[in-house]
A = this chain, B = another copy of it.
Amino acid sequence: MNTIAVDAMGGDSAPEEIVKGAIKAKNLGIDIILCGDKNLIEPFLQDSQIPVVHYPEVISMDDDPARAIRTKKNSSIVGAMQLVKDNKASAVFSAGSTGASLVAAISVLGKIKGVIRPAIASVLPSIDREIVLLDSGASLEVKPKVLLQFAAMGSKFAEVLFNIPAPRVGLLNNGEESSKGRDLEKNTYKLLKSSNLNFIGNIEGRDFATDSADVFVTDGFTGNIVLKTMEGTARLQQKMIKKSFIENLFKPLLLPVNKALKPVKDRLDPDKTNGAYLLGVNGVVTIAHGSSSAEAVMNSIIFSNKTVESGFISKFTDTISEL
């Protein structure tokens, strides 16, 4: 039986929103252990009977991740990782500091053999399907060999979790031609071209609206900027639409129109989707926006559970050793 170790203290509305999300997931039959300050967690537990492992320390967004992980050994995120390490849990979920999750995962779980750098894979919405973007912030600056590994990790992730056979891998670049990009992209292009991945070539940001690729590969700096630009653009357009509708539509139309807009807004709202996945470490680690709602927490926990059940980590280890 899988058990998900949930960092109850990470997130803007922790522990309340995290515990609520954990209860929702528990009600769907997923086993959970909550990690964090018992006194702060218990008021929200209701009659859920989710076990709590007491970790009095919290790593905040302002802490330097590396230093915090070294000094706060009794923090909820380190504790959650340790539960996986000790085989008392199968996966970690946290909506706390991404940097802290990353450092804790590397120092407690360790990297998978052969992996040079870990990556954060974000699942982005598209028309009727999912797109995997990586790295969305773990490794800001990387070498071509690392991007090749990211491509392989993202491809395996899309294959196992979304049942896409031979996922189409694209290299995010400033143009389609193979001559485009920095030295990083030019050299990565060659490595990808001669790999056994289903590499479709360079892709651009506008391909988020087309059906060209399943996996978008880039360095962690660019990926993080892309992720937040998508968020910003979606919100900007929503604001513009709202304004235009108020100015141009008869008032009675606003209610049904806003109702029809709602599912689109929700799909593009990172606080409501199922988070991101730390790839390259010895364990399933799911991270989410600090502002995640209870529903997003539940979705991430469900996805963590699905990831564990898929046997992703062992399949993944083979992928890396074959590169």
Contact = CB atoms under 8 A, between A and B. Distances in A.
A229 B240 contact: no
B221 A204 contact: no
B240 A237 contact: no
Interface string A36-54: 0000000000000000000
Interface in A235-269: 235-241, 243-245, 247-250, 253, 256-257, 259-261, 263-264, 267-268
A298 to B, nearest CB: 23
Nearest to A245: B260
Contact of A243 (B127, B174, B237): B127
Contact of A225 (B172, B247, B248, B260): B172
Contacts of A247: 260
A208 interface: yes
Contact of A233 (B141, B208, B222): B208
A239 B140 contact: no
A225 B244 contact: no
A70 B66 CA distance: 52
Given A206-B232, A229-B226, A140 B237 contact: no
A1 interface: no
Contacts of A315: none
A309 interface: no
A300 to B, nearest CB: 20
Nearest to A140: B182
Contact of A260 (B222, B234, B248, B267): B248
B260 A244 contact: yes
25 contacts: A141-B182, A174-B224, A204-B225, A205-B225, A205-B226, A205-B227, A205-B231, A205-B233, A206-B229, A208-B229, A210-B232, A222-B222, A229-B229, A233-B237, A237-B237, A237-B264, A240-B268, A244-B260, A244-B261, A244-B264, A248-B260, A248-B263, A249-B256, A253-B256, A253-B257
Question: Closest 10 interchain pairs by CB?
Answer: A205-B229, A205-B228, A208-B232, A209-B235, A248-B260, A233-B233, A206-B232, A174-B224, A209-B236, A240-B264
Interface of A: 64, 125-127, 137, 140-141, 172-174, 179, 181-182, 204-210, 218, 220-222, 224-241, 243-245, 247-250, 253, 256-257, 259-261, 263-264, 267-268
